[in-house]
């Protein structure tokens, strides 16, 4: 083989060799970084790097098939979204009598007449039924009596048919 051709051949071989080595290293680094974004387990991260070092492209393929579906960031964002969704559901009150959506400023359910809130007898602020003091004006409230009769001075909510409503209310109180 002529010396000139031999040099060209050597140069090409070295060039290709370096290219392969760089590519090899690059995919090892890529796989390691990718695994780090998906798992906090350092052993798993090392195993992935080792797999790709040993098997290279086929190793990368195996890793891509088996890697955790979500990155840690995606999992975190999903948990935030779920929390926000839950919060939204919690923020929308439902009637304990008929499970229909009710508004926070309603005193009674328009569907089943279940009493939802009571009014402060001094300042008119809407109070939760079990509260016996108004958080706004600190006036003590007369609660419902044990037989379910409404004992507050509230004038605004006068259930049309008190008997079934109060029975339900008593039942819900016993659950608590």
Which of residues 78, 92, 101, 136 is near Zn ion by CB under 5 A? 136
Nearer to Zn ion, 7 or 140 (CB): 140
Give residue for tokens 């387990």.
41
Say whether residue 114 binds Zn ion (CB under 5 A).
yes
Q: What angle do CA 36, 40, 46 make, to 5 degrees?
A: 60
User: Is the distance from CB of 173 to CB of 157 less than 8 angstroms?
Assistant: no
Say whether residue 78 binds Zn ion (CB under 5 A).
no
Nearer to Zn ion, 31 or 95 (CB): 95
Nearer to Zn ion, 32 or 106 (CB): 106
Which of residues 60, 120, 129, 165 is near Zn ion by CB under 5 A? 120
Nearer to Zn ion, 51 or 109 (CB): 109
Which of residues 123, 133, 142, 151 is near Zn ion by CB under 5 A? 123
Nearer to Zn ion, 62 or 157 (CB): 157
Which of residues 48, 51, 97, 169 is near Zn ion by CB under 5 A? 97
Say whether residue 125 binds Zn ion (CB under 5 A).
yes
- Binding footprint of Zn ion on the chain (CB under 5 A): 95, 97-98, 109, 111-112, 114, 120, 122-123, 125, 134, 136-137, 139
């Amino acid at each position: 083989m002529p010396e000139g051709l031999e040099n060209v051949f050597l140069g090409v071989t070295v060039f290709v060799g370096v290219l392969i080595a760089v590519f090899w290293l690059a995919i090892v680094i890529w796989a390691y970084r990718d695994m780090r974004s998906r798992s906090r387990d350092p052993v798993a991260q090392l195993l992935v790097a080792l797999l790709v070092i040993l098997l290279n492209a086929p190793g990368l393929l195996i890793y891509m098939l088996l890697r955790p579906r979500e990155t840690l960031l995606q999992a975190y964002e999903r948990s935030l979204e779920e929390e926000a969704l839950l919060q939204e559901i919690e923020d929308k009150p439902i009637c304990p009598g008929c499970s229909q959506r009710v508004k926070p400023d309603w005193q009674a359910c328009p569907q089943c007449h279940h009493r939802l809130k009571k009014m402060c007898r001094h300042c008119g602020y809407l109070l939760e039924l079990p509260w016996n003091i108004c958080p706004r004006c600190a006036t003590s409230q007369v609660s419902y009596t044990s037989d379910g009769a409404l004992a507050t001075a509230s004038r605004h909510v006068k259930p049309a048919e008190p008997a079934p409503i109060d029975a339900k209310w008593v039942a819900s109180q016993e659950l608590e």
